[in-house]
Structure 1
Amino acid sequence: MIRIEREPTPAVLDFGDAESPAARERQAIVDYLAAEGKLPKSPKFEVYAHAQVKDVLIAMHHGKCAYCEILTSGGFDGDVEHYRPKKGITDADKAGVEHPGYWWLAMAWENLLLSCQHCNQSRRQLIHQAGLSEADIERELREKKLRTTGKKNRFPVENNAWVLDFQADMAGEHPLLLNPCDTDPEDLFEWEFERSISTVKPRGGDPRAEATIEILGLNRRFLTEARVTVLNGLRLKRKKIIDRLNRVSAMEDEQLAAELMQTVVEDMLEVKQACSAENPFAGLARAFRRKLQGEIEAMLA
């Protein structure tokens, strides 16, 4: 997961225009609530699925899931995800809090993300815990014990203090699920680079990272296997770089050493390219690059 810069609001979602589809859709629900004293039984939420909204989201996310960074465009264009669920909150139900869902944000641009189906929908997954040995990984693959993950209507907040009213100040609510448009998540995750799969864990036990990993299933089997494909390429680059630096340190010919150092620079540029926002699993690549830079600095010190 990496920071995502939100694009300007699409015209169909512009609340500044009272005649925009989003403004009309929300106002219709507000008017019904004022007249009837309750929400419609089945409120219509249609504008968020407008093609204009989807197109901007795909471009803004570089065709990747906002949460796990897998490419969605290869086989499915992804879901328009409501960060704050529009119809009810599972975590509130479990806490005995009656929550109508954030219906007033169903058509709000700042509440929409692009998500893959595995992160957005409730599914049974094989989840690998971080820190497993290779023997543990093999055992889990044999036993195939599945867990239900996926966001759906999950939305935990600190102290179970959800905002319930559409006129309330949202600033008083502190979600545990990370929104990459609101928070730079990179320093909150710690990646494991040494195993046959690529797992992630919360750095320093951060509760937001912990909740995000658990809810979205960011260590689900096929995602960890997809990430390790990128990780293996980075590992190969690291091996070349470290080997060449060791050779440089043993060289007496300054010209040859300089030429070999140039290949190290070129290899590091390729590692940097993997960190670009448009590439899948850029968060993993950036963490790997930071670790590699630390190794290089120690070798050159």
Structure 2
Amino acid sequence: MIKIDKSTISTPKILDQKNPQSKGSLATQALNADHEKGVRTFTFDSAIYGHASVKEALISVQNKKCCFCESFVRHIAHGDVEHFRPKGGYQIDPDASLITPGYYWLAYDFENLYFSCQICNQKYKRNFFPLTDDSKRIKSHHHFTNLHLEEPLIIDPANDNPEDHIYFDQEIPKAKDKKGELTILRLGLDRDDLNEYRLKWLQLIRDIARHAAKGDLISLNLLQEAAEPQSELSLMVRSNFPFLSKVE
């Protein structure tokens, strides 16, 4: 995982909550009204939050990578528009029952959306969203301004710095704290196929590093590029070659 800076792009017009006539605003208003009527199970329009303009904006700001496993996605799959705070309902444990409603009022909120590979999103994260203190959970749109009081136990790549919570021992992700531990476990970041893929990439990077150590400037440039945010698996590279984080 790497930190994602959404301040560098504009919110897609379809989700512009400042425009009360945008599709995202109108859909959110309808959800809020349904909640007032006692509705607790909602229907969401993926054509709005998953609109091409939304997906392309997320892909761009995430350097074409899954927000969780940091793998390139589009050459092999369409990828998902993922809700960090689950829209329909949430689980505090993957084996627990789904608790409804979820964060319905954030279904069309660009800040709550990321681009993810299907495996990270559909097989692992799904509706998992535990907090350090569940008594602080915000349960309706009436208290949305208090979201900052929540302390999620999985990494939010736009509001957390993943490097504060996760590092790599060779190709294997390791936790620095509880948030890192649950993120690795519940997002499947230590899955075998992903570790095998990382290892192959790391072996190639090590070969490049050996050439760079002999003074080959092209290899040095390639090594530095591999540690930059736009490169695949860049946190793993920086963890194994920490001096690259200090190279300007």
TM-score, normalised with respect to structure 1: 0.74
Q: 1:189 aligns with which of 162, 166, 170?
A: 166
1:277 corresponding residue in structure 2: 229
2:156 corresponding residue in structure 1: 179
Quote the sequence identity (%).
31
**Cα deviations by residue, 1:157-186 (Å, 9 ceiling, x for unpaired):** 102232112121101101011111111112
2:34 corresponding residue in structure 1: 32
1:225 corresponding residue in structure 2: 196
Asked if 1:84 corresponds to 2:85, the answer is: yes
Distance 2:94 2:141 in 1: 19
SS at match of 2:92: helix
**Cα deviations by residue, 1:23-56 (Å, 9 ceiling, x for unpaired):** 100111222333x2x1264423331011111111
- Contact 1:92 1:160 (C-alpha < 8 Å) held by counterparts: no
**Where does structure 1 lack aligned partners over 5 or more consecutive residues?**
123-149, 245-262, 295-301
Q: 1:202 aligns with which of 155, 175, 180?
A: 175
- RMSD of the alignment, in Å? 2.3
Q: 1:240 to 1:97 in 2, by over 3 A?
A: closer
- Contact 1:63 1:77 (C-alpha < 8 Å) held by counterparts: no
- Contact 2:173 2:189 (C-alpha < 8 Å) held by counterparts: yes
1:102 corresponding residue in structure 2: 103
Distance 1:18 1:273 in 2: 43
Distance 2:130 2:57 in 1: 28
1:237-276 to 2 correspondence within 5 Å?
Answer: 237-242=208-213, 244=214, 263=215, 265-276=217-228
Q: 1:23 to 1:265 in 2, by over 3 A?
A: same
SS at match of 1:81: strand
Q: How many residue pairs were aligned?
A: 240
Q: 1:41 to 1:89 in 2, by over 3 A?
A: closer
1:120 corresponding residue in structure 2: 121
Asked if 1:216 corresponds to 2:191, the answer is: no
Q: 1:13 to 1:191 in 2, by over 3 A?
A: same
- Contact 2:91 2:99 (C-alpha < 8 Å) held by counterparts: no
> Displacement, 1:289?
2.4
1:50 corresponding residue in structure 2: 51
**Where does structure 2 lack aligned partners over 5 or more consecutive residues?**
none
Asked if 1:22 corresponds to 2:24, the answer is: yes
- Contact 1:92 1:99 (C-alpha < 8 Å) held by counterparts: no
- Contact 1:200 1:219 (C-alpha < 8 Å) held by counterparts: yes
- Contact 2:4 2:157 (C-alpha < 8 Å) held by counterparts: yes
